[in-house]
């Protein structure tokens, strides 16, 4: 089945161009017109690379609104961890479906998720046709008996792959996972041809805690045990310049989550400095409980504005690349770019709205995408050449989610 996006603009590697996009076999075949099975007129719109959410917890919307306005440690210990103990496979599946629909309506075509009941997130992702990297979260809290169970869980989890979903290793963090769990999680990921993701240096308190536990900062601890290679490090707010350079040499990357970091009082990652050090920095929303949205275009704006707080020059195109090509690079994925031969993962933004006008020149549209747009401006989301969002969202899961939450005692 072929698809033609006709009559609109496209953000290519050369900037904003007037291009038709011909898609076949899940890939962009030509940036020109050709007879197709299905034609979508996108006149007055711009096609951009599909947005890549490099760090989220896709099923976490059942915790949206709990513990707001607290700092990370209190939020986790008082509001999140106690409720997560009540999570069931059925609730994880239904909330993953709802979360993916939220992401798709905002133009996200790929995401990296770390959470419990990974099989249910994988199932939902394949049903809804989104590209995903899914981790089964592990935590042993330095308990030897639990550690063996978590390692066994990771070994089993990495053993297979389905559809557009790639399985990854996902130990929670250096302050909730033992050295042995972190080391083995990384080894198993490499053995499976995958990679590891974990929370790193999110708060100053975390850095102090890990130094007390291990004698090293979170990143230095990870590097010392050989678990930094190609690892996607969520947050990375408090990496030193030396650590950023070492992380770049290891092929590691940072999933920058500006809204979550601000909301939980975690701080502001010096993204421009990281990029200058050669470190790949993608963009993530974090979970719906700490953001409280999966709107990646809002995240792009927040990332761009935050760097200007310290009078750092940060071009709008750089912020957009964090949500597209840089995120793809972190995942080892060839997407994130609109070009011939690339995967057909595309978000189409409707420019026929007052907040995008006037447009003085074509490349000003890039600035408008960063500073004026939000997820509500997405008209179509296309993954692997298939239209997975066309302006309509049905939430048939919601009644059962609400019923389960009440039954499990998650409504108060």
Note the pLDDT tens digit of each residue in 363-379: 899 999 999 999 999 99
- How would residue 232 be classed by pLDDT, with cut points 50, 70 and 90? very high
Show me where the domains of the chain are located: 2-50+343-389, 55-331
- How would residue 124 be classed by pLDDT, with cut points 50, 70 and 90? very high
Quick one: pLDDT at residue 163? 86
Nearest to 22 by CA among 8, 313, 216, 13: 8
Q: For residue 376, what is the DSSP state?
A: G
- State what percent of residues in the chain have pLDDT above 70: 100
Range 230-234 average pLDDT = 98
Query: Which tens digits make up the pLDDT trace of 140-155?
Result: 999 999 999 999 999 9
Q: Is 260 a residue whose pLDDT tops 80?
A: yes
- How would residue 162 be classed by pLDDT, with cut points 50, 70 and 90? confident
CA distances 35 to 25, 30, 232, 243, 337, Å, are 15, 12, 41, 52, 23
Q: Which range among 126-135, 152-161, 239-248, 257-266 shows the weakest confidence by mean pLDDT? A: 152-161
Quick one: pLDDT at residue 321? 98
Q: Is 14 a residue whose pLDDT tops 80?
A: yes
Strand partners, 169: 136, 196
Quick one: pLDDT at residue 350? 98
Protein fold of 2-50+343-389: Urease, subunit C; domain 1 (2.30.40)
Long-range contacts of 267-272 (CB under 8 A, 24+ apart): 267/203, 267/204, 267/237, 267/238, 268/237, 268/306, 268/309, 269/235, 269/236, 269/237, 269/239, 270/310, 270/312, 271/303, 271/306, 271/307, 271/314, 271/322, 272/307, 272/312, 272/313, 272/314
The strand order across the sheet containing 38-41 reads: 27-30, 21-24, 2-6, 38-41
Look over the chain and give the mean of its residue pLDDT values, rounded to a whole number: 96
Quick one: pLDDT at residue 298? 98
Range 27-33 average pLDDT = 97
Quick one: pLDDT at residue 329? 98
Strand partners, 56: 113
Range 314-329 average pLDDT = 96
Q: Is 159 a residue whose pLDDT tops 90?
A: no
Range 60-66 average pLDDT = 95
Q: Which range among 66-80, 257-271, 285-299 shows the weakest confidence by mean pLDDT? A: 66-80
Quick one: pLDDT at residue 110? 98
Quick one: pLDDT at residue 7? 98
The position carrying tokens 């890990």 is 210
- How would residue 404 be classed by pLDDT, with cut points 50, 70 and 90? very high
pTM, 2 dp: 0.97
The DSSP-derived string for 192-248 is TT--BEEEES-SHHHHHHHHHHHSS-HHHHHHHTT--TT-EEEE-TT--HHHHHHHH
Query: Which tens digits make up the pLDDT trace of 186-221?
Result: 999 999 999 999 999 999 999 999 999 999 999 999
CA 92 to chain centre: 18
- Count of Cβ atoms closer than 10 Å to residue 259 Cβ: 21
- State what percent of residues in the chain have pLDDT above 90: 93
Q: Is 303 a residue whose pLDDT tops 80?
A: yes
Burial of residue 371 (number of CB atoms within 10 Å: 0-12, 13-18, 19+): middle
Residue 20 CA to residue 7 CA, distance in Å, equals 6
Q: Is 101 a residue whose pLDDT tops 80?
A: yes
CATH no. for 55-331: 3.20.20.140
Quick one: pLDDT at residue 149? 96
- How would residue 9 be classed by pLDDT, with cut points 50, 70 and 90? very high
Q: Is 358 a residue whose pLDDT tops 80?
A: yes
Q: Is 161 a residue whose pLDDT tops 80?
A: no
Say yes or no: do domains 2-50+343-389 and 55-331 share a fold. Answer: no
Range 103-117 average pLDDT = 98
Q: Per DSSP, which regions of 72-205 are E strands?
A: 108-115, 131-138, 165-171, 197-200
């Amino acid at each position: 089945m072929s698809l033609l996006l006709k009559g609109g603009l496209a953000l290519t590697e050369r900037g904003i161009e007037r291009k038709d996009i011909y898609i076949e076999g899940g890939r962009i075949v030509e940036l020109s017109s050709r007879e197709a099975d299905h034609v979508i007129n996108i006149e007055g719109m711009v096609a951009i690379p599909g947005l890549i959410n490099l760090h989220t917890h896709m099923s976490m919307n059942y915790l949206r609104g709990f513990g707001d306005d607290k700092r990370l440690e209190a939020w986790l210990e008082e509001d999140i961890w106690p409720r997560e103990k009540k999570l069931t496979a059925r609730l994880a599946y239904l909330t993953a479906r709802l979360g993916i629909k939220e992401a798709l309506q905002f133009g996200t075509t790929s995401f990296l998720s770390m959470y419990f009941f990974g099989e249910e997130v994988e199932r939902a992702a394949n049903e809804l046709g989104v590209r995903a990297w899914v981790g089964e979260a592990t935590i042993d809290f330095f308990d030897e008996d639990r550690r063996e169970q978590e390692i066994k869980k990771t070994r089993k989890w990495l053993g297979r792959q389905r559809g557009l979903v790639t399985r990854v290793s996902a130990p929670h963090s250096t302050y909730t996972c033992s050295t042995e769990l972190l080391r083995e999680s990384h080894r198993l990921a490499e053995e499976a041809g995958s990679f590891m993701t974990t929370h790193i240096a999110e708060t100053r308190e975390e850095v102090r805690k890990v130094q007390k536990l291990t004698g090293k900062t979170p990143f230095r601890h990870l590097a010392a045990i050989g678990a930094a290679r190609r690892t996607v490090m969520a947050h990375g707010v408090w990496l030193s310049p030396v650590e950023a350079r070492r992380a770049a040499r290891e092929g590691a990357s940072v999933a920058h989550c500006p809204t979550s970091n601000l909301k939980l009082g975690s701080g502001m990652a010096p993204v421009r400095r990281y990029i200058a050090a050669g470190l790949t920095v993608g963009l993530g929303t974090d979970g719906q409980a700490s953001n409280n949205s999966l709107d990646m275009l809002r995240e792009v704006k927040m990332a761009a504005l935050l760097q200007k707080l310290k009078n750092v020059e940060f071009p709008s195109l750089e912020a957009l690349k964090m949500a597209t090509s840089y995120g793809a690079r972190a995942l080892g994925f060839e997407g994130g770019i609109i070009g011939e031969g690339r995967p057909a993962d595309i978000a189409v933004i409707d420019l026929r709205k007052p907040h995008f006008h006037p447009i003085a020149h074509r490349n000003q549209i890039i600035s408008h995408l960063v500073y004026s747009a939000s997820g509500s401006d997405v008209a179509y989301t296309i993954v692997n050449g298939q239209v997975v969002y066309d302006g309509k969202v049905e939430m048939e899961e919601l009644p059962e989610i609400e019923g389960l939450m009440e039954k499990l005692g998650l409504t108060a």
